[in-house]
Amino acid sequence: MAFLRRKPPLSLLLLLLLTSPAHSLTCSSQNLSNNLYTNCTDLPTLNSSLHWTHVAKTSSLSIAFVAPPSKPDGWIAWGINPTGTGMAGSQALVAFKDSNGSMTVKTYDVVSYSSLVEGEISFEVSDSRAEFSDGSMKIFATVKLPETMTEVNHVWQVGGAVKDGAPVKHEFQPENLNAKGKLKLKLTEKAQSNRTTAAGSPAIAPNPSSSSGSRNGVMYVILMLIIGALISN
Ligand SMILES: *[C@@H]1O[C@H](CO)[C@@H](O)[C@H](O)[C@H]1NC(C)=O
Ligand SMILES: *[C@@H]1O[C@H](CO)[C@@H](O)[C@H](O)[C@H]1NC(C)=O
Ligand SMILES: *[C@@H]1O[C@H](CO)[C@@H](O)[C@H](O)[C@H]1NC(C)=O
Ligand SMILES: *[C@@H]1O[C@H](CO)[C@@H](O)[C@H](O)[C@H]1NC(C)=O
Ligand SMILES: *[C@@H]1O[C@H](CO)[C@@H](O)[C@H](O)[C@H]1NC(C)=O
């Protein structure tokens, strides 16, 4: 009986261990076009990420948006909303498999949830193309932004089907509905401010390995708990 009672915690721990690295599509695991992009942001929903480079001088934003479509014959989309924060009003790039089987990128004015208008959008888009490999689609493009823009409201989405050359409505799960955010193209004044000390020597940069260090610490504790549970069995 004691043996039976000890079992659940062990399997629970194992389950935690096996399911915790949920995101397979993180910035760190991707190797895009020989690191062509200066920045990468893991997006909070839909297992997606955005690689990007912002060139302030030309106010252009080059992006690679990566996400798994909800079905292989589906689509992925990324867009900027110049007038609000949600899906409605966004100017979107949508990638899917064309009728001849090759990946294509189309631009849409997302007027509302029920009205997509294919055609020119309010941003100039160049060099757009799409890829599909290992279950993920990628949208590559360069977007010309208004000169003073230092952050953009962006949206992203995935869907499971394409009909008559157009994406079919996506699901309305929390992950879909929360697929929006603010992309800061520049760090704030504060972060960029002159960090020289009174003596004139540069301040010490934050230790980049500290987060992986604490992660290792967590893994160590979990392993020790498992070993402990095994021994007590
Ligand atoms: C990323 O690309 C580099 C150079 O092409 C290669 O050496 C490295 O193994 C790749 N890493 C991953 C995780 O694919
Ligand atoms: C994200 O990835 C996890 C683990 O691979 C999976 O369980 C989950 O369903 C994925 N979510 C979406 C929206 O694809
Ligand atoms: C598929 O059609 C597009 C135009 O709709 C064309 O640009 C592309 O080259 C075609 N791909 C193949 C593999 O035929
Ligand atoms: C983007 O990357 C560059 C180069 O690594 C860095 O200097 C800059 O602060 C990053 N921008 C943001 C907003 O994280
Ligand atoms: C930073 O501070 C130093 C010393 O006060 C000054 O010489 C330098 O011009 C400052 N740099 C910037 C970018 O403000």
Write out pLDDT tens, residues 126-178: 999 999 998 999 999 999 999 888 899 999 999 999 998 889 988 888 889 99
The whole-number pLDDT of residue 93 equals: 97
Which class for 98: exposed (0-12), middle (13-18), buried (19 or more C-beta within 10 A)?
middle
Shared domain for 228 and 124, answered yes or no, is no
Domain span at residue 98? 36-204
Q: 3-class SS at 110?
A: strand
Query: Biggest alpha carbon distance in the chain?
Result: 71
Q: Which residue has the tokens 């909303």?
A: 81
CA-proximal residue: ligand 3, atom 2 (nearest): 100
Query: How many angstroms is it from 176 CA to the middle of ligand 2?
Result: 12
46 CA from centroid of ligand 2 (Å): 7
- SS3 per-residue string spanning 197-217: CCCCCECCCCCCCHHHHHHHH
Long-range Cβ contacts of 132-135 (<8 Å, 24+ apart) = 132/97, 132/103, 135/68, 135/72
* pLDDT score for 213: 45
Whether residues 124 and 148 share a domain: the answer is: yes
43 and 14 together in one domain: no
Q: Which ligand 3 atom is the nearest neighbour of the CA of 104?
A: 3
Domain count, the chain: 2
Provide the CATH number for the domain around residue 104.
Answer: 2.60.40.1210
Domain check: are 224 and 126 in the same one? no
Q: Check: CB of residue 107 under 8 Å from CB of residue 95.
A: no
- Residue 167 and residue 98 in contact, taking contact as beta carbons nearer than 8 Å: no
**pLDDT reported for residue 232:** 58
Which tokens hold the place of 129? 């193309």
Indicate if 162 and 227 belong to the same structural domain.
no
Q: What are phi and psi of 88, to 5 degrees?
A: -65, 125
Best of 96, 97, 99, 102 for a ligand 3 pocket test (most atoms within 8 Å of beta carbon): 102
Helices then strands, each counted (H, E), the chain: 4, 13
102: Cβ below 6 Å to ligand 3?
yes
48 in the same domain as 29: no
Q: Burial code of 186-218, b = ≥16 C-beta within 10 A, e = fewer?
A: eeeeeeeeeeeeeeeeeeeeeeeeeeeeeeeee
Residue 165 is predicted with a pLDDT of 87
Residues in CB range of 159: below 8 A, 6 or more apart? 69, 70, 74, 75, 76, 77, 167, 168, 169, 170, 171
Give the binding-site residues of ligand 4, using a 6 Å CB cut-off. 38-39, 184, 186-187
Do residues 87 and 113 both lie within one domain?
yes
CA distance 49 to 154: 12
- 187 CA from centroid of ligand 4 (Å): 7
Residue-by-residue pLDDT tens, the chain, 233 positions: 444 455 444 444 334 334 333 445 578 777 765 568 999 999 999 999 999 999 999 999 999 999 999 999 999 999 999 999 988 999 999 999 998 899 999 999 998 877 888 999 999 999 999 999 989 999 999 999 998 888 999 999 999 999 988 899 888 888 899 999 999 998 765 555 555 444 444 444 444 444 444 445 545 444 455 545 555 55
SS3 (DSSP) at 13:
helix
Residues 200 and 213 in one domain: no
Distance of CA 39 from the midpoint of ligand 4 (Å): 6
Same structural domain, 19 and 80: no
- Note whether 46 and 97 are same-domain residues: yes
Q: 141 and 173, same structural domain?
A: yes
216 lies in the same domain as 160: no
Q: What pLDDT does 65 receive?
A: 96
Quick one: tokens of 49? 């990420």
Residue 111, amino acid: V
The verdict on the CB of residue 196 being under 6 Å from ligand 5 is yes
Question: What's the gap in Å between 175 CA and the centre of ligand 2?
Answer: 10
